[in-house]
Structure 1
């Protein structure tokens, strides 16, 4: 049985939307919030994954709805929030967890690949925030948390995702200012290297490389999905009532240490730089 470190029934009567709730970190967040009494609404593009998580939560006594939605499509996002209001009558909080990327050096990223990652991680998050604000939170207040990434020293081999996540960090800061007048708090959580089901999507050679990365983390291990979920729950809770516009790192101090898994190739390309002409 799932137990939480937070006070029991902390979110009784609250309705919380979690995108990308069909697997990984989104699933962990949804389960944690449901155990704490929230009615959770999970969305994603694959019905089978959503229904599996829904069955898990219901088996633990939680309240949950699952809705298929592509967050890159603004009309689908509007319909999603209309359905939530119809089913639940309110939307107290939003967790923007849905995202995705692929490994590639920047020069090999096509326009199609670039746009897909930007639309999923940045544009989709904006559509979700905007819809939540317009249909409920502008009149009633609320809390929003968006999952980003460890982008503080660049994001080699994921330039598309790094650019999108950096955009979300700035969007978080901007909306925290614009929407303060509506009592909407908006923050972000930046996971470092997390032992998540999402890692299984990478090819075997990448997974082998990832397995070596904990040596580059001061904590000397990967984080867990539930540790990320706990950070999200904290930012949604009354304990964070005076926190907005912030990005909370969940990375075992990894962002303060070596750049994980990336080595600059040996070269002499800069030798002529700085010479007198």
Structure 2
């Protein structure tokens, strides 16, 4: 079964989009959806085996993707990687700044080294990728950038390093939308998404992860394809007058308030499952609603 996108076939024909963190999770899903709509995708990440696995999936689906091993935290490497994408594809129409990561730690126990590692991964790397795409192609030819941040509203306790970095990415998005216009720069802020990233956290967080849906007014977690759809919209011609914006995909979780103990009405919305290769994270497989 092919990817079941809600967007019209051929929407990105002859377009080239870079997807960082394209070897897993939301990046992998987004790459598949873009390819299903006619795009050629450049998969960027640190682990060649993961990138090559997604490249094979895309080829089996009849699409085209190139792989580019890159540590987005390294300025010279980013510059060379963007040049390599241009050499391979001849253009860059879109950038999905999806690569990132963090580890659980309270602020009082976060070292300078740990802080710097997360900030470089979630802020500096995204800036470098965006700057090079702009300088090497988009400044002269136009394009669209979508920065993936997170649910940072009201702080990010337990992962303050990531919250600070992603809040910085949102501010960078707003600044770049002004300085780089008419290149469009937007952000997508996923909430709690049932993605493979959930399996990267320590086992003692499993109960917390399984209980997240109870804190969401929509009474469930999101899907990778729901985030991908938001990204694809912001890359598309339908968003031609949207720039400097942030689209939340979070089931209204940040709107839950202590003064109003009821979270939603107890019902939920049907999840959108467009990604034909999606699988439930292991940590959720034994979780029963």
TM-score (norm 2): 0.88
**In structure 1, distance between residues paired with 2:84 and 2:257:** 45
Deviations 1:199-255 (A, max 9, x none): 000112212211001011010000000100000000000110000001100001111
Paired residue for 2:276? none
Paired residue for 1:253? 252
Paired residue for 1:145? 146
**In structure 2, distance between residues paired with 1:4 and 1:194:** 18
Query: How far off its partner does 1:163 sit?
Result: 0.4
**In structure 2, distance between residues paired with 1:207 and 1:117:** 22
Paired residue for 2:194? 195
Paired residue for 2:235? 236
Contact 1:91 1:137 in 2 (8 A): yes
Paired residue for 1:10? 11
Paired residue for 1:184? 183
Aligned length: 257
Partner of 1:153, secondary structure, is coil
**In structure 1, distance between residues paired with 2:77 and 2:26:** 23
**In structure 2, distance between residues paired with 1:144 and 1:193:** 23
Paired residue for 2:35? 34
Query: How far off its partner does 1:258 sit?
Result: 4.3
Paired residue for 1:223? 222
Paired residue for 2:210? 211
Partner of 1:195, secondary structure, is coil
Paired residue for 2:76? 75
**In structure 1, distance between residues paired with 2:29 and 2:257:** 28
Partner of 1:223, secondary structure, is coil
**In structure 2, distance between residues paired with 1:48 and 1:207:** 27
Contact 1:192 1:249 in 2 (8 A): yes
Moved over 6 A (4+): none
TM-score (norm 1): 0.92
Partner of 1:194, secondary structure, is coil
Paired residue for 1:96? 97
* Structure 1 gaps, min length 5: 260-277
Query: How far off its partner does 1:3 sit?
Result: 2.0
Deviations 1:116-172 (A, max 9, x none): 000000000100010000100000010000100001110001110000000000000
Contact 1:216 1:258 in 2 (8 A): no
Paired residue for 1:125? 126
Larger radius of gyration: 1
